[in-house]
């Protein structure tokens, strides 16, 4: 059984906020974990130059990934300039063909930031395109289409304030210590979030939201997801098969 997992999001710290607990659980079940970001987080600062913050945030992401023995790669696009075009789709599809994941996690299709929404669309296309032999890429196609799971949007709502409810939850109560440690690697973001988002103690904010999802299934902490079930994608729930009772389907 292919147990390779790819979590690919827009920016460093997105993975830690939205699905690090689930990745930690999958690692414990023998999965090979890969983390990737579309950008290096080059605009998430009011203290450093683009070059300086890019170096800092890549290192933070690498240090976080190491906590669950995961690889980390950056596709080197720029914050706020993630576009749905040939370049991004080809680069993401090449990464997927290199890794050949069975499971892919990405951002919610509806979120507060266009970077996240564009990333979600690109990943959807790249998953489907992994098996397209006629794409002019540097590596070979593979089958089958990976399982694709969308994480919660930040704060569980779309840009109009509508609540987005998960279709499945993963009980991450035992993994909160490692999720917290992974997020704490992103030290550069505390002052930025305080000034730009008016949000201090971003680790506590993450725990509050994880706690909210946990209460919805009667546990302490959880992460919420929706599975892509469109034509051509796997229809069974592989997370349930691997994680068993830790997954609650609604």
Instruction: Give 215's pLDDT tier (boundaries 50, 70, 90).
Output: very high
Task: Tokens for 123, please give them.
Answer: 């990943």
pLDDT of 80 higher than 90: yes
What's the Cα-to-Cα distance from 126 to each of 84, 91, 122, 134, 143, rounded to whole Å?
A: 11, 9, 6, 14, 12
Pairing mode of beta strands 32-39, 103-106: unpaired
Task: Write out pLDDT tens, residues 220-235.
Answer: 999 999 999 999 999 9
Mean pLDDT of 125-131: 97
Q: What is the pLDDT of residue 247?
A: 98
Cα 102 from chain centre: 15
pTM for the full model? 0.95
Q: What is the pLDDT of residue 26?
A: 98
Q: What is the pLDDT of residue 221?
A: 98
Task: Write out pLDDT tens, residues 142-189.
Answer: 999 999 999 999 999 999 999 999 999 999 999 999 999 999 899 887
Strands across the sheet with 247-249, in order?
A: 71-77, 32-39, 4-9, 103-106, 147-151, 222-227, 168-171, 247-249
Which residue would you say has higher pLDDT here, 205 or 229? 229
- From the list 156, 84, 158, the residue with the least C-alpha distance to 118 is 84
pLDDT of 132 higher than 90: yes
Q: What is the pLDDT of residue 128?
A: 97
Give the DSSP per-residue string, 13-44: THHHHHTHHHHHHHHHTT-EEEEEEEE--TTS
Instruction: Give 198's pLDDT tier (boundaries 50, 70, 90).
Output: low
- Mean pLDDT estimate for the chain: 94
pLDDT of 87 higher than 90: yes
Task: Write out pLDDT tens, residues 2-23.
Answer: 899 999 999 999 999 999 999 9
CA count, 13 A, side-chain hemisphere, 235: 3
| DSSP category for residue 157 | B
Task: Tell me the CATH architecture of domain 4-249.
Answer: 3-Layer(aba) Sandwich (3.40)
């Amino acid at each position: 059984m292919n147990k390779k997992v790819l979590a690919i999001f827009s920016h460093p710290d997105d993975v830690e906020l939205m699905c690090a607990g689930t990745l930690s659980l999958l690692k414990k079940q023998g999965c090979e974990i890969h983390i990737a970001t579309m950008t290096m987080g080059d605009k998430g600062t009011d203290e450093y130059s683009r070059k300086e913050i890019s170096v800092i945030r890549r290192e933070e992401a690498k240090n976080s990934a190491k906590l669950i023995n995961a690889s980390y790669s950056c596709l080197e696009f720029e914050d706020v300039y993630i576009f749905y075009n040939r370049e991004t789709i080809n680069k993401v599809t090449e990464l997927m063909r290199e890794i050949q994941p069975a499971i892919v996690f990405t951002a919610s299709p509806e979120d507060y930031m266009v970077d996240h929404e564009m990333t979600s669309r690109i990943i959807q296309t790249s998953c489907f395109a992994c098996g397209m032999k006629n794409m002019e890429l540097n590596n070979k196609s593979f089958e089958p289409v990976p399982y694709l799971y969308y994480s919660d949007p930040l704060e569980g709502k779309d840009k109009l304030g509508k609540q987005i409810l998960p279709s499945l939850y993963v009980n991450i109560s035992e993994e909160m210590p490692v999720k917290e440690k992974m997020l704490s690697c992103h030290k550069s973001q505390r002052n930025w979030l305080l000034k730009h988002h008016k949000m201090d103690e971003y680790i506590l904010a993450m725990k509050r939201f994880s706690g909210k999802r946990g209460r919805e299934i009667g546990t302490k902490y959880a992460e919420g997801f929706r599975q892509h079930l469109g034509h051509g994608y796997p229809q069974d729930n592989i997370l349930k098969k691997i994680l068993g009772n830790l997954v609650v389907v609604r």
